[in-house]
Amino acid sequence: DARPTITLSDGRRIPQVGLGVWQTPDDGAVEAVRAALAAGYRHVDTAAIYSNERGVGEGLRASGVPREDVFVTTKLWNDDQGYDQALRAFDASLGRLGLDYVDLYLIHWPAPRRDLYVDSWRALIRLREEGRARSIGVSNFTADHLRRIVAETGVPPVLNQIELHPRFQQGALRAAGAKLGVATESWSPLGQGRLLADPAITAIAAKHGRTPAQVIVRWHVESGLIVIPKSVNPARIAENFDVFGFALDADDRAAIAGLDDPDGRIGPDPTTATF
């Protein structure tokens, strides 16, 4: 399958490989989204805090690909948590995107010190009922955060978008999510590029005649994860999507399993992050 999808707990399907656009200004986002849709992607991951929702919307319209064929995710920023604030922030995101619905709306971080993520989650439930967010989920939630919103609202998120790459494989959190029907989506899937020169990865790439980035994206796909590699370079954007013509073998998987490191986190720890 050249465009595999994962079926979410609400019955909707998300394309397994999407384009990440963090740290991409509006202009760059227009071009990156156009390049990605031309290369076959049908999934884009942005956030209010990335300040490029306008560019993403513009790229989408410029691509000529029908709106309903593209899966668009955006996220609620921490300063906008709370029931009413989240509803207002969502309207602002839709306005910047120039869309009348998003496919997926996520709470970007649990921000546990604010203790507003349950109220925010209730707002997302309402947005889903209104059909303006077709699916709703979370990002950077621990197993405890997931269990709390399910216990208090009865509504599980369709997915949890978390830092996940060969050096930080998140086995326990993936298993906790799976128990609740929560799919896992990998952010910084290439370790922000730092994993591309790892000797275990370059050896596998050489063996298959593929690039290190392709080996890592392929590993996420074969692991049942949703994956959103970021690039603004059209050739690399295309390369990162061209992962359906080869497969990893048991030796490759064992070598990548060996890279997992409990201290391999690159980004903030959601339980201690101060924002």
Residues that bind ligand NAD (CB under 6 A): 20-22, 45, 108, 139-140, 161, 187-193, 196, 211, 213, 228-231, 236, 239-240, 267
User: What is the set of active-site residues?
Assistant: 50
Question: Minimum distance between the CB of residue 47 and ligand NAD, rounded to whole angstroms?
Answer: 7
Show the beta-strand stretches assigned E in 119-229: 133-139, 159-163, 183-187, 226-227
For the record, the structure tokens of 268 come out as 């903030």
* Nearest residue to 93 via CA among 82, 83, 104, 161: 104
Nearest residue to ligand NAD, using CB? 20
Cβ-based nearer residue to ligand NAD, 140 or 184: 140
Cβ-based nearer residue to ligand NAD, 82 or 189: 189
Cβ-based nearer residue to ligand NAD, 25 or 251: 25
Question: Minimum distance between the CB of residue 250 and ligand NAD, rounded to whole angstroms?
Answer: 25
As a whole number of Å, the end-to-end CA separation of the chain is 40
The answer on whether 43 is annotated among ligand-binding residues is no
Cβ-based nearer residue to ligand NAD, 193 or 251: 193
* Integer Cα distance of 42 and 59 in angstroms: 12
* Integer Cα distance of 4 and 53 in angstroms: 25
Question: Minimum distance between the CB of residue 271 and ligand NAD, rounded to whole angstroms?
Answer: 14
Cβ-based nearer residue to ligand NAD, 71 or 84: 71
**Sheet with strand 159-163: strands edge to edge:** 19-20, 43-45, 71-76, 102-107, 133-139, 159-163, 183-187, 226-227
Question: Minimum distance between the CB of residue 177 and ligand NAD, rounded to whole angstroms?
Answer: 15
Phi, psi angles (nearest 5°) of residue 208: -95, -5
Question: Minimum distance between the CB of residue 214 and ligand NAD, rounded to whole angstroms?
Answer: 7
Alpha-carbon radius of gyration of the chain: 18
Phi, psi angles (nearest 5°) of residue 252: -60, -45
What string of DSSP letters covers 76-129? E-GGG-SHHHHHHHHHHHHHHHT-S-EEEEEES---TTT--HHHHHHHHHHHHH
- The annotated binding site for substrate is made up of 108
- The annotated binding site is made up of 108
